[in-house]
């Protein structure tokens, strides 16, 4: 499920293998009716947090960062994005529909998503990252890199915005992402349009943001765009192969679906609501 931040549209997708279009339409109607019958206007209170456990100790994380910086100073890397994980024990079961509704209230400008491949686990979250939207032959994507928090007052918020806008370090990090996206789309497109860099404000954070569009030469499938763009430097690094190798050698946990593309497409892959990089996604396991 993907909800577009630009509207209140919700996409319900049913996947079926070796089925006719009529059979898929029937299953879609059945699932939609079941969801309507199960909808509850009430909302449960959030489950309490019993304990949180970081997968990486602070000292270990500092050492990982130092090792990555050394590789950059030695010229092996231009950029690498390391991650951490936090295991949370809840006092009660979490209602995923309620969580998604709260995420929509807290982050109305983000893409919400939820995949529940089994009855024991779900992958859900809210992300501002849009990897690609394909409309006809036009690809829409974003460079979103370089971040700072929001201020407690309008004056403090404006100061933080000015700081990120004028930071050479942030600008360098951001331009690496812009440059890479432009290079990745170049072989597929006849024209790549890069808009002016600006600041995108979310509920708790603000990012340097550059919208990018490209016109494809051919009727490429949306997954061809995903293959060309993923992983972006925002979740991987540069050069990609060395960055991914550094991540595997450095991080002490398996990323799994974390930072993987999620989204939807139509049957012929010409259009899709959105495909995003859920860099702030969560993996939730049901209590047994």
Active site residues: 79, 129
Concatenate the DSSP letters of all residues of 227-265 into one string.
Answer: HHHPSPTTTSEESHHHHHHHHHHH-SS--TTTT--EE--
Neighbours of 218 (CB within 10 A): 10
* 214/261 Cα distance (integer angstroms): 19
Q: Name the DSSP class of 45.
A: P
* 39/34 Cα distance (integer angstroms): 9
* 232/272 Cα distance (integer angstroms): 19
3-state helix, strand, coil in the chain (%, to 5): 35, 25, 40
Tokens matching residue 110: 């983000």
* Residues 84 and 57 sit within 8 Å (Cβ to Cβ): no
Concatenate the DSSP letters of all residues of 5-30 into one string.
Answer: TTSS-EE-----SS--HHHHHHHHHH
Beta bridge partners of 142: 211
């Amino acid at each position: 499920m993907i909800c577009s931040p630009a509207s209140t549209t919700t996409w319900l997708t049913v996947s079926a293998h070796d089925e006719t279009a009529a059979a898929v339409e029937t299953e879609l109607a059945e699932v939609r009716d079941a969801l309507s019958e199960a909808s509850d206007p009430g909302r449960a209170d959030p489950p309490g947090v019993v304990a949180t456990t970081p997968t990486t100790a602070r000292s270990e994380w500092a050492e990982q960062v130092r090792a990555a910086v050394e590789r950059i100073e030695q010229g092996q890397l231009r950029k690498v994005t390391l991650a951490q994980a936090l295991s949370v024990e809840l006092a009660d079961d979490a209602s995923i529909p309620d969580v998604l509704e709260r995420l929509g209230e807290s982050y109305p400008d983000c893409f919400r998503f939820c995949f529940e491949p089994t009855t024991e686990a779900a992958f859900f979250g809210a992300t501002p990252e849009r990897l690609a939207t394909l409309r006809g032959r036009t690809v829409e994507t974003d460079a979103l890199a370089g971040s700072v928090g929001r201020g407690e007052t309008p004056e403090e918020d404006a100061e933080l915005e000015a700081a990120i806008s004028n930071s050479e370090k942030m600008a360098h990090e951001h331009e690496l992402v812009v440059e890479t996206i432009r290079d990745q789309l170049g072989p597929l497109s006849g024209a790549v349009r890069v808009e002016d860099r600006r600041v995108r404000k979310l509920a708790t954070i603000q990012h340097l943001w550059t919208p990018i569009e490209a016109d494809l030469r051919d009727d490429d499938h949306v997954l061809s765009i995903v293959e060309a763009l993923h992983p972006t430097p925002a979740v991987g690094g540069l050069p990609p192969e060395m960055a991914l190798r550094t991540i595997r050698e450095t991080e002490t946990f398996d990323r799994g679906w974390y930072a993987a593309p999620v989204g939807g497409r139509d049957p012929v892959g010409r259009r899709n609501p959105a495909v995003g990089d859920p860099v702030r996604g969560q993996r939730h396991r049901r209590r047994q």
